[in-house]
A and B are shown apart, each in its own frame.
Chain A
Amino acid sequence: MPHLSFPRPLNRALQDIGSNGFLHAITVAIIGLVLLILAAFIVIFMNVNRIAERWQADIRIVAYVKEGVDQDRIRVLHQRIKGFYGVNEAVFISADEALVRLRSQMRNQAGVLDGLKENPLPASFEISLNPVFHDRKSIEGLAAQVRETEDIGDVQYGKAWLNLFLDFFAFFKTAGFITGGLLLLVAIYIVSNTIKLTLFARKDELEIMQLVGATRYFIKLPFYIQGILQGLAGALISLATLYVLFSVFVSRLCCADLPFTPFRVWFLSKEMMGMVVLLGVLTGWVGSYLSLRKFLRAWI
C-alpha cells in the first residue's frame, strides 16, 4: 500500500496534482506568466524610478536677481533664500562670474562676446534642494516662493522634458499596475477553475467524507494546499525566468555604451521577491477559496 510519507492533507493534494498533471502544469504556467509580467513591470519601474530620481537630484532652481540691486541687498537676499524651507544650498553667481562661465562654455565662439561693451548677464542664485524635496511639487512650490521674493526677477528650474517624462512615467506606472491587477484576477479565475474541476471529479468522495464526519476544514485543506502549491510553483518559475531574462538583457545593455551616465541596473530586492512569492501564494489561496465556497455551499 502507498505509504503516507507526508501529512495526509499534503499527500492528498499531491495525489490530485499527480493524477491531473497536465491541467495543473498549465495552471502553474499561467500563474508563472502573469507573475513574470508583473515582476518585470516592477523591475522596470524600480530602475526607471532610480534614474528619474537621479535626474531630479540634479535639478537646481536658478533665481535671477533684478538689475541694480546692490551688494547689501544681495547679501540679505542670499540669507533669505538660504532660509527657505527645503533649500540645501544657495550659491550666488555674480554677473561677472556668469560671463566667465559663458565664455568657457562657448570656447571657440567666445570671440563674439568680446564685442560687448557691457555685461548683459544678470547675477543669479543657484539653489540646490534637500534630497527630500526632489519631487516635482516641492520644486514647484519652492520656485514659486522664490519668485515672490523681492529683488528676484525671473526663476528657472527643471527641464521641460523631464516633467514630460515624469508625467508619462506616472501614467505608465498606473497603467502597469492596473494591467497587473487584471492579470492577477485572470490567474485567480484560472486557479479556481482548475480546483473546481478537481472538486467535481471528487464530488462523490467529498460527499462521503462529510457523511462519515469529516469537518469542512478537513475536506478543504488539501484543496487549499493545491492552490497554494500552484501559486508557489508559479511564483518560483516566474522569478527564475525573470532572472535569466534580466541577466541576458543587462549584459547586452552594458556592452551597448549608452549615452547617459552609467548606472547599475537592479534586480528585485529580496523583499520584492518575497512579495512576488506572496502574491503567487495569495492567488492560489484566493482561487481555491472561491471555488470551495461555491462548491460546499450546496451541502446541508
Chain B
Amino acid sequence: MIKTFHVYKDYGARNALEDVNISIGQGEFVFACGPSGAGKTTLLRLLYLGERPTRGDILIDGVNLHRVKRKKLPFFRRKIGVVFQDFKLIGTQTVFQNLALPLEVSGHKKNHIRQKVCHVLRVIGLENRMNSFPASLSGGEQQRIAIARAVVHDPLILLADEPTGNLDDRSAEIVLDLLNELNLKGTTVLLATHDRELVSRSGNQVIFLNNGRTKD
C-alpha cells in the first residue's frame, strides 16, 4: 500500500530524510518512531504529497507519486486521511463545519454529510461540542476532532502524526482503540510518535527513524 524507494528530502543543506525505504502492506498498522527532529513529520508530508521528495520514488496504492500531477492531487488526497501534528483545524468554523469539509470537497449530499459527521462525533465522544469553535476546546479535544476529520471520509490510508501527543493515558488508550477499530475495518494506518512505550505496548510493526534515516 505504501512503499518508498531511496527517498531523500533536503531542506537547503539539511537532510530531513536520507535513503528511506519502507514498505507497508494493505491493512497493516505500522508505527514510525523516533526522537524529535528525526523526520517523522517530513515522511508523512511526502506521503500525502504536501511536498515532493528531493529524490527517490514513493508508491501509494500502486501509484507512483511522481505521476500525480497538480490537477489530480485533490483526488489523490481524498484517499488519505491525515491527523496533523498541529491539528490544522479551521478556527473560523465550527467543529461541525470542520468535520464536514472533507466530505463537502468531494461533493457529498448534505444529509449524508450530517449523518457521517454526527457519527464520528459520537465515536470520539464530542457530539455535544459540534457547534463550538476549535479555540474553545481543550488540546485533547482538538486532537480528537483532528482525528475525526481524518477519518470522516473513510480513507484508504490514515497518516497520524503524534495523535496521542496531547492526551493523558486514558484518552490515548481510547484514541488507539479507535485507530485499531478503523484498522480492523481495512484502513492502513501509519502512526508517527516519539513515544517508545506506546509502541512497545502495542506490539505492532515499527519503523525506527533517527536523523532522517531508518534503522532496524
Contact = CB atoms under 8 A, between A and B. Distances in A.
A214 B90 contact: no
Interface string A108-126: 0000000000000000000
Contact of A1 (B90, B101, B106, B131): B131
Contacts of B82: 211
Contact of A209 (B49, B96, B101): B101
Contacts of A88: none
A213 B110 contact: no
B73 interface: yes
A208 B75 contact: no
A204 B90 contact: yes
B215 to A, nearest CB: 30
B74 A214 contact: yes
Contact of B88 (A1, A208, A300): A208
A211 B50 contact: yes
Nearest to A208: B88
A92 to B, nearest CB: 78
A211 B48 contact: yes
Interface string A2-21: 00100010000000000000
B3 interface: no
A211 B49 CA distance: 9
Interface size class of A (residues with CB under 8 A): 10 to 19
B51 A4 contact: no
Interface string A196-227: 00000010110011111111101000000000
B102 to A, nearest CB: 4
Contact of A215 (B93, B105, B149): B105
Q: Which of B77, B82, B90 has the most CB of A within 10 A?
A: B90
Interface string B168-204: 0000000000000000000000000000000000000
Q: Which of A210, A213, A214 has the most CB of B within 10 A?
A: A213
Contact of A4 (B50, B73, B110): B110
Interface size class of B (residues with CB under 8 A): 20 to 34
B62 to A, nearest CB: 19
Nearest to A207: B88
Given A4-B110, A300-B70, A212 B102 contact: yes
A213 B50 contact: no
A216 B75 CA distance: 11
B10 interface: no
A22 B32 CA distance: 49
B129 interface: no
Interface in B90-107: 90-94, 96, 101-102, 104-106
Q: Which of B51, B74, B93, B153 has the most CB of A within 10 A?
A: B74
Contacts of A8: 104
Contacts of A213: 74-75, 77-78, 102, 105-106, 153
Contacts of B101: 208-209, 212, 214
A209 B97 CA distance: 12
Contacts of B84: 211
Nearest to B52: A300
A172 to B, nearest CB: 49
Contacts of B88: 204, 208, 211
Contacts of A209: 101, 105
A218 B102 CA distance: 12
Given A218-B105, A300-B51, A300-B70, A211 B96 contact: no
Interface of A: 1, 4, 8, 202, 204-205, 208-216, 218, 300
11 contacts: A1-B131, A4-B110, A204-B91, A208-B88, A210-B73, A210-B77, A211-B77, A211-B88, A212-B101, A213-B78, A213-B105
